[in-house]
Amino acid sequence: MLAPYAVRVERSRGRRHPEPAHPYRDDFQRDRDRVVHSRAFRRLENKTQVFTRRFSDHFRNRLTHTIEVSQISRTLAGALGLNPELVEALALVHDVGHPPFGHSGEKTLDACMRAQGDSFDHNLHALRIVEDFEVRYAAFRGLNLTFEVREGIIKHSRQYKAADYPQLAEYMLEQRPPLEAQLIDLTDEIAYNTADLDDGYEAKLLKLGEIRERVSIFDRFYREAEKQYPAAIEKLKFNEALKRMLDRMAGDLIESTRARIGAAGVKSLEDVRAHSKSLAAFSPEVDAERLQAKKFLNERLYSNTALKPEKVHAERAIRELFEHWMAHPEALPKSYREKSKQEPLHRVICDYIAGMTDHYILEQHQKYCS
């Protein structure tokens, strides 16, 4: 049973190109399946989360991270009475717009675009992917996703001002997104805060002692694990503490969001959209714990000197390839040369690079810039 404030598929605003109903899948289930079968989704397997494949095949990549976000999101949706099919589709599509090499790749690509008087935004790029770049169907370009999924792509992690983004006017930028979309940014944080602690520890870049000293929520649960499993090896106690940390954040997000919905008197989807603030949120106590973990990861993992050579190499590859194709557009593949007749060259090059996997862009860099 869905809550009265959940998105109901039968009230969907529909697709750009109307399609007949499917005999045994609703429209949000079909959107989920279209995302999973897209080329952009498959490419996530070879895009960096924090560590490149050069470190280990065991560390998360964009695809495994996305699966973890989807699992957490669907669980929370069920607990809150939200539409699990819409939540799952949004979780699976939330990272398809990311370029190669994680956040350092995104920063470099954005810097290249700003030098051209433009910018790169992975949410906007994801919308371009599902609206135009995916070519799978004879009847239309893109994936022809429902309005609610496209809206969630744009609004799940930031607010866009209508005056600055007139091209997004159809997505009701002055209104809050549904709770299904609001959840995604928070479940994303639950997933990567815990997973990055795990991968950082496995990579021996984060020491157990410093994690316990700097991340109080982890230390509390590690002490519990030590007491309950005194004979267990350190890694198993670590795993137990991390599991409990994830559970605390997920459980708190459920209870805090439920309380905020009740306090706001929300009775419908329209109430959610009209509310002055996002209703999905952690409690103040857990939010402080989340920020503490995030600060620790920023200072000790994401900026770790051991990762610097990989970042420098990645940033150089993106920057030099961008500059090369700006100077030599004839070296672009034919399809992108054709696109450059309708769109600015820098945007076409940006789209090309953003869609690349880590290993493919390194191949292209060696081919054109070495």
Mean pLDDT of the chain: 96
- Domain assignment of residue 325, given as a range: 309-369
- pLDDT (average), residues 75-79: 98
Residue 196 and residue 177 share a domain: yes
Last residue of a domain, one of 256, 290, 308: 308
Q: For 242-246, which contacts have Cβ atoms below 8 Å and span 24 or more sequence positions?
A: 242/194, 242/197, 242/198, 242/218, 245/194, 245/217, 245/218, 245/221, 246/72, 246/190, 246/194
For residues 250 and 319, membership in a common domain is answered with: no
Residues 251 and 347 in one domain: no
- Check whether 54 has a pLDDT greater than 80: no
Question: CATH number, domain at 228?
Answer: 1.10.3210.10
Produce one character per residue of 112-142: b if its CB has 16 or more CB atoms within 10 Å, e if not. bbeeeeeebbbbbbbbbbbbebbeeeeeeeb
In a domain, 251, yes or no: yes
187 has pLDDT over 90: yes
On the question of pLDDT at 257 being above 80, the answer is yes
Clarify whether residues 277 and 360 are in a common domain. Answer: no
2 falls within a domain? no
As a whole number of Å, the end-to-end CA separation of the chain is 59
Helix (H, G, I), strand (E, B) or coil at 48: strand
pLDDT (tens digit per residue) in 202-241: 999 999 999 999 999 999 999 999 999 999 999 999 999 9
Q: Are residues 180 and 299 in the same domain?
A: yes
Please compute the mean of the pLDDT values over residues 109-128 and round it to a whole number: 97
Q: What is the pTM of this model?
A: 0.96
How many independent structural domains does the chain possess?
Answer: 2
In a domain? residue 17: yes
- Predicted local confidence at residue 57, as pLDDT: 74
In order of 51, 59, 190, 297, 356, the CA distances from 293 in angstroms are: 18, 19, 10, 6, 31
Distance, in Å, from the CA atom of 201 to the CA atom of 209, rounded to the nearest integer, reads 11
Look at residue 4 and tell me if it is in a domain: no
Is the domain of 225 the same as that of 246? yes
Establish if 3 belongs to a structural domain: no
| In-domain check, residue 159 | yes
- Among 308, 327, 351, identify where a domain stops: 308
Residue 53 has pLDDT above 70, yes or no: no
Residue 48 is predicted with a pLDDT of 86
